Structure 1
Amino acid sequence: MADGDSMPPFANGTCIVGEYVETLDDLKKGKQYMFITTDGYTFKTFGKKNRKTLTVSADNTFYDSYDIALEDIVQIWRYVRGILPEDYKPYYLPEQTNLRSLIDEAKRSITNLENGILKINS
């Protein structure tokens, strides 16, 4: 079942149907997979295979890509279809790139303020 907001348009409670991936060579860049790891599971888009990790990303651009250690992977299932919950109602997230730029701008402003305070106190 899907949970969280990192993979729109899948809502909480969406049942993800997949096909078992036999080998890492079967992974295709830009395709969605369920990665079963020693820590749990995550539904992400495959980016690339590195020497000791796989780089994956969420479809929600608010979240950064990250790596999963190959040694932590138990199984991988390729996304085939999603079955939405009976009471599903679509929701629309705010413009993600605009939201991210606002957060980045706020971080820069805070850093500038901190640097200004440090200069005053020096």
Structure 2
Amino acid sequence: MSRIIILFLTLLLSLSSTLGAPYGGTRHRPVQWLTNFGGRIKADIEMTLAYKGGNGYGWEIFYIPQWQGQADYHPVDIVTNTTSNSITWRTPPYSTYPAGTTFILGVTDGSNNLSADWYDLTGLLKFEP
């Protein structure tokens, strides 16, 4: 019985520390995209990526390319440790990835907290020429 109580208290304490606001109780807003992607990413163009929220100490922007038959998925950094709430991104040339590739774009708060409030992901976006 005492093991169950200890386990319960341990879980409760770990939840309270991960659910708390970062940096000494500072309030934050959830990170979210402001850019309307329209379901696609055009190849080899400059586009503005805009986002808001987080703790105000910076963001990291990335994309995850995916295509049929791919075994491993790896994020590709667009920018790390930026304090600007928008960036201009030159998308990759279409020949970089196989036909039918899709992207997921992500923005994360620079704190690297695992809470869902600290990042935002798009749905699958078609990568088009």
TM-score interval for Structure 1 and Structure 2 normalised by the shorter chain: under 0.3
Compare the two structures and name the one with the higher strand fraction: 2
TM-score (norm 1): 0.27
Taking CA–CA contacts closer than 8 Å with sequence separation of 6 or more, which of the two structures ends up with the larger relative contact order?
2
TM-score (norm 2): 0.26
